[in-house]
Structure 1
Amino acid sequence: MRTYLDLLRVPSAARLLGGTLFGRLPNGMGALAVLLTVRADGAGYGLAGVLSAVYGLATAAGQPVLGRWMDRRGQTGVLIGSAVVSAAAYGVFAVVGVYPLPVAVVVVLIAGFTTPPLEAGLRALWPSVLTQERVQAAYALDAAAQEILFTVGPLIVVLVTQVASAQAAVWLTGLIGVAGTLVVATSAPSRRWRGEAHTPHWAGALRAPGLRVVLLAFTLAGTALGVLSVAAVAYADREGSDALAGVFLASMSFGGLLGGLAHGVVAWRSAPVARLSWFLLGLTVCYLPLVAVPGPWLMMPLAVLSGLFLAPAIACSFTMIDELAPQGTVTEAFAWLVAAIGAGSALGMAVAGWAGEVGGARGAFLAAGVGAGLGLLVFLVGRGRVISNVIHFEGITDPELSRNGTSAA
């Protein structure tokens, strides 16, 4: 833990990490707040699920767009502007509700699409705040801490809904986003930060072939996150206790926290590309015992085990993306990773619904292992492209392609 305490003593580090985590709580609150508001207005679960999915996909789509804008214009204006617009859309949805439906769809789209890209922005800031050795620990701490967000966020929504109303939870979601964004965007490192000078290209960060491999791998591996959200509910139904779904997801998050913190204190000698291969393998292997769907006393330790390799895999991907991103596109590249995991999670929820109907909880958990395994397969097949990270088009030389020069992956 000394590594992390030293990191947080660096000027602005604690403010940036704390503000980002607080400002990203809406990522774990928004979809559920939308769903509960739709249900509170008397609509069915079908419409509630559709609007929640619209919100999630809009959030994933907006991150790379806003990330590219930040690379070109700096962080402060983009972060504050997007947070205010998103909060305003949340407010309209809280007042209007689900009817008229076209208005609800539009404001949910806006609320999701304009979610401030705090996650990508923080990762772009770390190299300007910390030494290279501490950047790796920061990535690990960031990946570990975000496991808490997706446990605490839904709990806040449920608590506010019970104490006040679902509409109040929607209002709070927007306000938290603005508050956390202001903490980050008004800091000196964020105000000073500018993307590196570069020649704009229509494909942006996606013109790096190694980056595309990583993104596809994490889209597939990310399906497991959506699958497990649904599988946890199916397991709770099977065991006759609704509370087990929350306990399972909390146990999995705890495993991710442990794995992420452990990853950050190890002085790794192997290259990130080699580590990521092993982490994705560990992720796949640790999901498979869940298929046995044992009783709660054994299932919860298995849930902790299933989360151990997720945060290390994500932290490792941060390092690789930092190396693979073409010059001047680092924020956009990180935002694409956020989008890839988010899109994969949304796809996973749909797959889990089908798998759950066909094979029950056992089928849903199996889908998580298959998703992680496909991500591993894609990464292994494309590993050569990740290592070389060569883009062949006229007028660009290899050193220009990476913000840190030739990829060290």
Structure 2
Amino acid sequence: MPPAGPVRSALGSYRRLFAVPHVPALLFWSLFARVHIGGLPIAVTFLVAGWTGSYAVAGLVAGGLTVGTALAGPIRGRMSDLRAKDRLLTSSALVYGAGLAVLALLPGALWWAALPLALATGLFLPPANQIARAVWPRLTAGPTRQTMYAAEATFQELLFIVGPLLAAAVVGLTNGRAGVAVMAVLSVVGASGFAWALRRAGLSAPEPPAAGTGGPAPARRSLLLDAQILLILVMSALLVAGLGGVDLTSVAWSRELGTPGYAGALMAVYAAGSAVGGLLAGTFPGRPRLARRAFAAAAGVVLLVPLLPPVLHLPSPWLITPVLFAAGLGIAPTIAAVTERVGEMAPAHRRGEAYGWLSSAITGGISVAAPMTGWLIDLGGAAAGAAGAAAAALVAALVALALRRGAPGGPDGAQPGEPAERAEPGERAEAPGPPDSSGPATPPRPAAGGPPTGAPPPTGPTGPAE
């Protein structure tokens, strides 16, 4: 029996995406290069706790990796805009992998050296995230680009299930040293594979600045001077602070029930809901409305508050799983919309830097959320932690309302070939545009030309949402 219309449409969206030359290999290797990120904190925690017997020290070392990653995010992104991407991936992977190898081989008596070593190693995390998100607009356009970002957000959710499970399995079968070593190997192999895929696709070279009227190039300014980019970074930090608070609340509630082993299962259900939501969002024909999606994600967190103690005492954590799954449905679609919007706001030749700032904002949001959520849980139980997470997510959605519909291009001027927004399903489009093509939207080295700086953008399906 043939699939129903919506199913056929959904399959067609992903079929068109993976028919774009080089997309399957690039997506696979970009994800492989990131699979270790979710598992590394677990491996490091077991390694350092085995040396010192202190989870506090282990947390400091794992936090050192995170701080190093956040500090260098914009720098690595800017380097990916200015240098050959394959060489940057390979060189940073070698240094990063070597740092993790030294950490894995460090004698326990030198545990005090683990913190500065972790901080220095985090500075060299291969910028697979920034590079991948910066090259998608060079391969896709219109609804296919939207499907691309939704697919990436969905698979990234799955990575945060697979990575920790893999690290826990290696540590359980061997020890913390082996866990860190395996994560090091995965990082080097993944980054090297991604570098190969970029070379094969002809996307290694930096993208030249967009040509304008032929006058002098505009002075390079910080992307943070663009109010809209700054707003979306703040919104992203608040959003992940809220969503990350749900994970910590799940852990606290499971421990309170005397079933700490259920925490991982609850987080997996939450991530599964996000993955399903992301897959569905990739099939929507309209452009994403960021504020609408952010409110949907925040509403999911709000739903959890009255179901947690001390508001309600459920006898089993499994009773909340349907609501937890539903709460996760809005996560990946919102992240995909944020990712797409950042790429539209930044100049094409500075997208890597923009995504570096986005990574740092997300890391900062998670880092701030953890102690704040923990304090709320200590103060008022799991429901208080969820309430704080919901408040952060709601504020993020309100900030999203302040993001205007306008020309992309960031502080250095408008980009050529970036048409304006198309309406979501059921809404009237503001302007007609050309039909989507599943082929490359922009060749690796686009020809000169385009609107002058400050000119209104053309209309069509690939421009900024809202």
- 2:89 is aligned, of 57, 70, 79, to 79
Residues in 1 aligned to 2:369 and 2:108: alpha-carbon distance in whole angstroms: 25
Corresponding position of 2:269 = 251
Q: Secondary structure at the match of 1:140?
A: helix
Corresponding position of 1:280 = 294
Residues in 2 aligned to 1:312 and 1:372: alpha-carbon distance in whole angstroms: 14
Residue 335 (structure 1) shift: 2.1
Residues 1:41 and 1:355: Cα distance change in structure 2 (over 3 Å) = same
Residue 129 (structure 1) shift: 2.6
Report Cα offsets for 1:259-289 as digits up to 9, x if no partner: 1011110101xx54xx111111111111012
Residues in 2 aligned to 1:320 and 1:249: alpha-carbon distance in whole angstroms: 27
Does 354-363 or 165-174 show the bigger shift? 354-363
Corresponding position of 1:38 = 48
Residue 400 (structure 1) shift: 5.8
Residue 101 (structure 1) shift: 4.3
Q: Which residue identity lines up with residue 81 of structure 2 in the other structure? A: D
- 1:334 is aligned, of 355, 364, 367, to 355
Residues in 2 aligned to 1:266 and 1:135: alpha-carbon distance in whole angstroms: 11
Structure 2 residue 412 is the aligned partner of structure 1 residue 383: no
Does 360-369 or 151-160 show the bigger shift? 360-369
Residue 318 (structure 1) shift: 1.9
Q: Secondary structure at the match of 1:116?
A: coil
Residue 166 (structure 1) shift: 0.7
Residues 1:137 and 1:390: Cα distance change in structure 2 (over 3 Å) = closer
Corresponding position of 1:10 = 20
- 1:324 is aligned, of 302, 320, 345, to 345
Q: Which residue identity lines up with residue 26 of structure 1 in the other structure? A: H
- Counterparts of residues 178-217 of structure 1 (less than 5 Å): 178-187=188-197, 188-189=200-201, 191-197=203-209, 203-217=221-235
Residues 1:389 and 1:283: Cα distance change in structure 2 (over 3 Å) = same
Structure 2 residue 369 is the aligned partner of structure 1 residue 359: no
Residues in 2 aligned to 1:107 and 1:29: alpha-carbon distance in whole angstroms: 18
Structure 2 residue 360 is the aligned partner of structure 1 residue 372: no
Structure 2 residue 115 is the aligned partner of structure 1 residue 105: yes
Report Cα offsets for 1:368-388 as digits up to 9, x if no partner: 1111012112222x324x646
Residues in 2 aligned to 1:400 and 1:2: alpha-carbon distance in whole angstroms: 30
Residue 98 (structure 1) shift: 5.8
Residues in 2 aligned to 1:357 and 1:34: alpha-carbon distance in whole angstroms: 26
Report Cα offsets for 1:314-349 as digits up to 9, x if no partner: 111122112100342111112222221121111111
Q: Is the 8 A contact 1:129 1:189 kept in 2?
A: no
Structure 2 residue 418 is the aligned partner of structure 1 residue 408: no
Q: Secondary structure at the match of 2:381?
A: helix
User: How does the TM-score come out when normalised to structure 1?
Assistant: 0.91
- Counterparts of residues 18-97 of structure 1 (less than 5 Å): 18-96=28-106
Residues 1:213 and 1:388: Cα distance change in structure 2 (over 3 Å) = farther
Q: Secondary structure at the match of 1:371?
A: helix
Residues in 2 aligned to 1:176 and 1:121: alpha-carbon distance in whole angstroms: 18
Radius of gyration: which is bigger?
2
Identity of aligned residues (%): 28
Greater helix content? 1
Q: Is the 8 A contact 1:205 1:326 kept in 2?
A: no
Q: Is the 8 A contact 2:48 2:111 kept in 1?
A: no
Q: Is the 8 A contact 1:79 1:181 kept in 2?
A: yes
Aligned Cα root-mean-square deviation (Å): 2.3
Residues in 2 aligned to 1:191 and 1:361: alpha-carbon distance in whole angstroms: 47
Residues in 1 aligned to 2:28 and 2:391: alpha-carbon distance in whole angstroms: 35
Residues 1:110 and 1:403: Cα distance change in structure 2 (over 3 Å) = farther
The answer for unaligned runs of 5 or more in structure 1 is none
Residues in 1 aligned to 2:373 and 2:278: alpha-carbon distance in whole angstroms: 26
Q: Secondary structure at the match of 2:318?
A: helix
Q: Which residue identity lines up with residue 227 of structure 1 in the other structure? A: G
Report Cα offsets for 1:93-131 as digits up to 9, x if no partner: 111156434521122112222111112211211222334
Q: Is the 8 A contact 1:225 1:348 kept in 2?
A: no
Residue 84 (structure 1) shift: 1.1
- 1:139 is aligned, of 140, 149, 160, to 149
Aligned length: 399
Q: Is the 8 A contact 2:345 2:409 kept in 1?
A: no
Q: Which residue identity lines up with residue 265 of structure 1 in the other structure? A: T
Residues in 2 aligned to 1:132 and 1:389: alpha-carbon distance in whole angstroms: 15
Residues 1:166 and 1:218: Cα distance change in structure 2 (over 3 Å) = same
Q: Which residue identity lines up with residue 42 of structure 1 in the other structure? A: T
Does 250-259 or 133-142 show the bigger shift? 133-142
Corresponding position of 1:308 = 329
Q: Is the 8 A contact 2:409 2:415 kept in 1?
A: no
Residue 225 (structure 1) shift: 3.5
Q: Is the 8 A contact 2:408 2:415 kept in 1?
A: no
Q: Is the 8 A contact 1:217 1:376 kept in 2?
A: yes
Does 111-120 or 163-172 show the bigger shift? 111-120
Q: Is the 8 A contact 1:204 1:329 kept in 2?
A: no
Residues in 1 aligned to 2:202 and 2:67: alpha-carbon distance in whole angstroms: 27
Residues in 1 aligned to 2:32 and 2:281: alpha-carbon distance in whole angstroms: 23
Corresponding position of 1:227 = 245
Residues 1:402 and 1:336: Cα distance change in structure 2 (over 3 Å) = farther
Residues in 2 aligned to 1:343 and 1:160: alpha-carbon distance in whole angstroms: 29
Q: Is the 8 A contact 2:153 2:332 kept in 1?
A: yes
Residues in 2 aligned to 1:230 and 1:45: alpha-carbon distance in whole angstroms: 16
Report Cα offsets for 1:9-40 as digits up to 9, x if no partner: 33321111111111101210122221111111
Residues in 2 aligned to 1:379 and 1:402: alpha-carbon distance in whole angstroms: 25
Structure 2 residue 414 is the aligned partner of structure 1 residue 399: yes
Residues 1:196 and 1:207: Cα distance change in structure 2 (over 3 Å) = farther
Q: Is the 8 A contact 1:67 1:120 kept in 2?
A: yes
